[in-house]
Amino acid sequence: MIAPTTEAELSDFLSEASEPVRIVGGGTRQNLGNSVKAKKKLTTAGLTGITLLEPAALTLVVRSGTPLKEVQKALNEVNQQLPFEPMDHCDLLGSTGETTIGGVVACNISGSRRIQTGACRDSLIGVRFVDGMGTIVKNGGRVMKNVTGYDLVKLMAGSYGTLGVMTELSFKLLPKPEATASIKLHGLSDEDGIAALCKALGSPNDVNGAAHLNNETLIRIEGFSGSVEFRIEALKKLFPNFEISVETNSEKNKEIWNSIGNVSVFSKTTTSIWRLSVKPTSGPKIMDTLLKAGIKADAQYDWGGGLVYLSVPDNIDIRNHLSNIQGHITLVRGNGGGADAMPVQNSLIKEIEEGLRKKFDPRKILNSGIMA
């Protein structure tokens, strides 16, 4: 295991590397993506530490190998948070170790608040990385207005370590809310639940969490206490004929939305888990299509129905049955009937990806094969 402790060490290693390497952070998401064709591992776990935290400027600069829990602890102390609410894959994947902030960015991990604040890449404002030739690259800065030139910051988020090894990351932050409430609609079908979420999201009530699972539809609002109380009543009026309950305890709300973000409902199952990014109204259609094909599936909907996690028996590749559904389907866990975890991209996207790899990693030594 190669474990550089400085950016210069990392640069020296990659400039002299003669064979592919597997890039890992804390090792909690090694099962995400396709198999990596590499015998050596390089970990960023030695690149740790918060280098700047300016609460007044809502800005954080942190080295990529820093554990996510350490980052969240430091932010809690100043009553701030990462806007994108990153999930923890450990229970779902059965993995151990410490999730790192660099791993979160590399996979663009984004939780339920994405519908309001955007994905991980939208909070990332600066990045330093070492490309496949050992060149140290810096892009972005510490303020949102720093957007001159190519936006490599957004490009690195979700690149799965194929374009470079990130060493330092800059984020914009948000204050933690004074109050949180979850409105629960009970006993709704998938179709009715998604319709209710769309109605809530289309209202002026500033909803920042919208999920449906196990016949329960959950709508989250946050902000100042008076505002939250007002919006609770406004949302109740939107659904006069539904059985409704409201949770206002902050710790219980944290548990509810952590469970949704971490897809805890499927953590103890032995099935294949698929992640689908689709139009919100497509979710119930997907379930109907699979049912007609004789495939039993359970679903959790997030992002107002735009993010669907499916629990499906092993040895079934659901892509073969959902070719008429527009969206993106990724195998998160299980064998999926022998399917690649990452879908085969169309020729245009593949051409763009190959062009980027040729620019940043012409020798194809960084996580080769992880994105097909």
Task: Give the tens place of pLDDT for each residue, 31-41.
Answer: 888 889 898 99
* Residue 145 predicted with pLDDT over 60: no
Tell me what pLDDT residue 347 has.
85
Q: Tokens 């600069």, residue?
A: 61
* Residue 147 predicted with pLDDT over 80: no
Tell me what pLDDT residue 324 has.
87
Q: Count the neighbouring beta carbons within 10 Å of the beta carbon of residue 37.
A: 13
Q: How confident is residue 346, by pLDDT bands cut at 50, 70 and 90?
A: confident
Mean pLDDT of 10-28: 94
Domain boundaries, the chain: 7-175, 179-261, 264-338
Task: Give the tens place of pLDDT for each residue, 233-268.
Answer: 999 999 999 999 999 999 999 999 999 999 999 999
Tell me what pLDDT residue 146 has.
53
Q: Residue 173 corresponds to which amino acid?
A: L
Mean pLDDT of 277-288: 93
CA 84 to chain centre: 8
- List the beta bridge partners of residue 215: none
- Structure-token pair, residue 137: 């690259």
CATH number given to 179-261:
3.30.70.2190
SS in 3 state form for 104-161?
Answer: HHHCCCCCCCHHHHCCHHHHEEEEEEECCCCCEEEEECCCCCCCCCCCHHHHHCCCCC
Q: For residues 305-319, b (16+ Cβ closer than 10 Å) or e, as one string?
A: bbbbbbbbeeebbbb
* DSSP labels, 27-50: STTTTSSSPP--SEEEE-TTS--E
CATH number given to 7-175:
3.30.465.10
Q: What's 264-338's CATH class?
A: alpha beta
Share of the chain above pLDDT 90, in %: 85
Q: Which residue has the higher pLDDT, 224 or 27?
A: 224
Query: Model-level pTM?
Result: 0.93
DSSP state for residue 320 in the 8-state scheme: G
Mean pLDDT of the chain: 94
Tell me what pLDDT residue 144 has.
57
Tell me what pLDDT residue 261 has.
96
Tell me what pLDDT residue 143 has.
62
* Residue 30 predicted with pLDDT over 90: no
Mean pLDDT of 208-213: 97
Mean pLDDT of 75-90: 96
Task: Give the tens place of pLDDT for each residue, 161-173.
Answer: 999 999 999 999 9
* Residue 25 predicted with pLDDT over 60: yes
DSSP state for residue 314 in the 8-state scheme: T
Q: Which residue has the higher pLDDT, 37 or 57?
A: 57
Task: Give the tens place of pLDDT for each residue, 322-343.
Answer: 988 889 999 999 988 888 898 8
Q: Which residue has the higher pLDDT, 142 or 91?
A: 91
Mean pLDDT of 60-89: 97
Q: Do domains 7-175 and 179-261 have the same CATH topology?
A: no
Share of the chain above pLDDT 70, in %: 98
Q: Residue 368 corresponds to which amino acid?
A: S
